[in-house]
Chain A
Amino acid sequence: MLSKRIIPCLDVRDGILTKGVKFKGNVDIGDPVTAAERYYEQGADEIVFYDITASAEGRNIMIDVVRRVAERIFIPFSVGGGIRTVDDMRRVILAGAEKVSVNSAAVENPHLITEGARAFGNQCIVLGMDVKKVAPSAGTPSGYEIVIQGGRKYTGIDALWWAQEGERRGAGEICLNSIDADGTQEGYEISLTSMISTQVRIPVIASGGAGKPEHLTEVLTAGRADAALIASMVHYQTYTIPEIKHFLQGKGVKVRNLW
């Protein structure tokens, strides 16, 4: 049986590991390559890098980070943030990333998913979705709306529809981030996660809100997620990955042991 994946998310700005709260203010917390290596050694099942750099030079620094990570860790990792073209995808894949994640750019140009899947295979393309709870309406019947540009811009697109559209277009996986829960450390948004995860056939990574191991149990069982993204709870070393996995095993959640 497949193990549920525990995935640390590293936000990187100009080559430095950083962590933001609700897309406001960021604090620098170290070297992303060192952090990735530490999580690999601890038994992370995958790593997600999110490049929040604005400048072109910063993007080149990120490619260098990807290359150095790929030489040291031998688990899959994905890179998202600022991926706007198939060429952007190719750069990070050639630098050693297993997957690329597209978010705002896919909303603005859905062909990016289709073209990326055709060029590199569905398994390479992760559809990142930033979602906010809204009153259900004709345009957003699921009660969840896609927001872009770091949570600043509402799109009027229904989150469930977009998840299914992404799957049709060839995304191999969905990384589902609740803007409402992100950075709160008060738990994942369970109803959103289970709604999306049960209505697509591709794996769903839950993101936003992890603060304690109980939150992961909840999202990996009731939330039906295939994987859980974590950030603050390990970046500040409140918990280690083995502690989280041990807790999950005690709750009957199948996770991978480190050998």
Chain B
Amino acid sequence: MPDVRSSLSGNRLLDSISPEEYERLSAHLKRVSLSLSEVLFRPDERISHAYFPTTCIVSLLTELQDGSGMEVGLVGREGVVGISAILGGEETKVATVQAQGEALRIEAGLLREEFQQGGLLQRALLRYTHALMTQISQSVVCNARHNVEGRLARWLLMYLDRSDTNEFELTHEFMANMLGVRRPGVSEIANRLQERGLIRYQRGRVTILSREGLEALVCECYPIVKEKFESFLL
């Protein structure tokens, strides 16, 4: 009964596993509400939980010593936050809730045990890990090569793909980290998209007015990464 299951879970990765696996896993899943700017984990912390977002969106950020940083990945209902729970090794990123909403939470150790059972869950998690690697890799390329408007369009479209609304809170600080610019420069960049009629940006709130317009402006990185996530985002 995949339909019933998907409406229960709301997370695409979990929806791709077998009913038996989901049944077993669901005993350990707890639905939690996550609020804007909540930090799920920081570098070098032992990961206590992994999160399967259903309606929230979580940003993965790599921080520098001076406290500045850059967003390298975005996780929504297509994926899982805290992949190092399965891979082992240290977490090196900061995971911050960027759009408030719900997620299914599981203890890291329990997820690892389920992963080790093999099956569809293991395959889905491995495939997702690789898609996440692609997303981060593309940020390496994008940050070296592409202009800031194209990059902003990319993040906004990534948001849109993971959300049911075309309106998000986007603080200056977060936008600065998304684009790797200083905070005072953020308004000007957002204005450039606003002047083209693509978005409205007011008091830290973005409304997307033209998806087509953003797609025309976005750098090539967006379709490349989207293709890798397609099986999860559909």
Partners in one complex: no
Interface of A toward B, CB cutoff 8 Å: none
